Amino acid sequence: MDSTPLKFFLIAGEPSGDLHGGRLIKAIQRLEPNSSFMGHGGKFMQNAGMQLLEHSDDLTMMGFTEVVKHLPRMMHILRKTSNTIERTKPNRVILIDYPGFNLRLAKKIKKLNIPITYFILPQVWAWKEKRVKTMKSVLNQALSIFPFEHDWFKSKGLKIDYVGHPFADKEHFDESSKEFYQRHNLTIEHPLLVLLPGSRQQEIDRHWTIFLDTVKTLKQIHPNLQIMVGKSPHVNLSPLPNHFKIEKNSRKAIIAGTAALVSSGTATLECAVEDTPLVVCYKLSCISWFIAKNLTKIPFASIVNLIANKKIVPEYLQHNMTKDNLVKALLPLIDQNNEERKRMLTRFDTVRLTLGKPGVYNRAAEAILSKMMLDS
Reduce the secondary structure of 58-125 to three states and give it as a string.
Answer: HCCCCCHHHHHHCHHHHHHHHHHHHHHHHHHCCCEEEEECCHHHHHHHHHHHHHHCCCEEEECCCCCC
Answer yes or no: is 92 within a domain.
yes
Whether residue 206 sits in one domain with residue 141: no
Answer yes or no: is 2 within a domain.
no
> Can you state the angle between helices 71-88 and 99-109, rounded to 10 degrees?
40
Answer yes or no: is 225 within a domain.
yes
Answer yes or no: is 286 within a domain.
yes
Answer yes or no: is 1 within a domain.
no
pTM equals 0.82
Whether residue 366 sits in one domain with residue 258: no
Residue 118: strand pairing partners: 95, 142
- The pLDDT of residue 60 is 64
Whether residue 135 sits in one domain with residue 29: yes
Whether residue 128 sits in one domain with residue 222: no
Whether residue 316 sits in one domain with residue 188: yes
- The pLDDT of residue 72 is 81
User: How far apart are the C-alpha atoms of 67 and 286, rounded to whole Å?
Assistant: 15
Answer yes or no: is 223 within a domain.
yes
Q: How many domains does the chain have?
A: 2
DSSP states of 133-152:
HHHHHH-SEEEES-HHHHHH
User: How far apart are the C-alpha atoms of 216 and 230, rounded to whole Å?
Assistant: 18
Whether residue 264 sits in one domain with residue 199: yes
Per-residue pLDDT of the chain in tens (376 residues, 90 and over written 9): 556 899 999 999 988 899 999 999 999 999 999 999 999 999 999 999 999 999 988 776 544 445 556 678 888 999 999 999 999 999 999 999 999 899 999 999 999 999 999 999 988 887 778 899 999 999 999 999 988 889 999 999 999 999 999 988 877 788 888 899 999 999 999 999 999 999 888 889 999 999 999 999 999 999 999 999 999 877 899 999 999 999 999 999 999 999 999 997 889 999 999 999 999 999 876 666 556 665 666 678 888 998 888 999 999 998 999 999 999 999 999 999 999 999 999 999 999 988 988 999 999 999 999 999 998 7
Whether residue 116 sits in one domain with residue 28: yes
Answer yes or no: is 110 within a domain.
yes
- The pLDDT of residue 238 is 93
Q: What is the CATH number of the domain that holds 119?
A: 3.40.50.2000
- The pLDDT of residue 59 is 79
Whether residue 140 sits in one domain with residue 227: no
User: How far apart are the C-alpha atoms of 352 and 168, rounded to whole Å?
Assistant: 8
User: How far apart are the C-alpha atoms of 198 and 72, rounded to whole Å?
Assistant: 26
Whether residue 247 sits in one domain with residue 228: yes
Element (H, E) at 291: helix 286-295
Phi, psi of 100 (to 5 degrees): -55, -40
Q: How far is the CA of 120 from the CAs of 18, 19, 145, 217, in angstroms?
A: 11, 12, 7, 38
Whether residue 365 sits in one domain with residue 343: no
Whether residue 263 sits in one domain with residue 291: yes
Instruction: Residue 260: give the domain boundaries.
Output: 177-353
Whether residue 266 sits in one domain with residue 195: yes
239: cis peptide before it, omega within 30°?
Answer: yes
Task: Using alpha carbons only, give the angle 316, 318, 321 rounded to the nearest 5 degrees.
Answer: 45
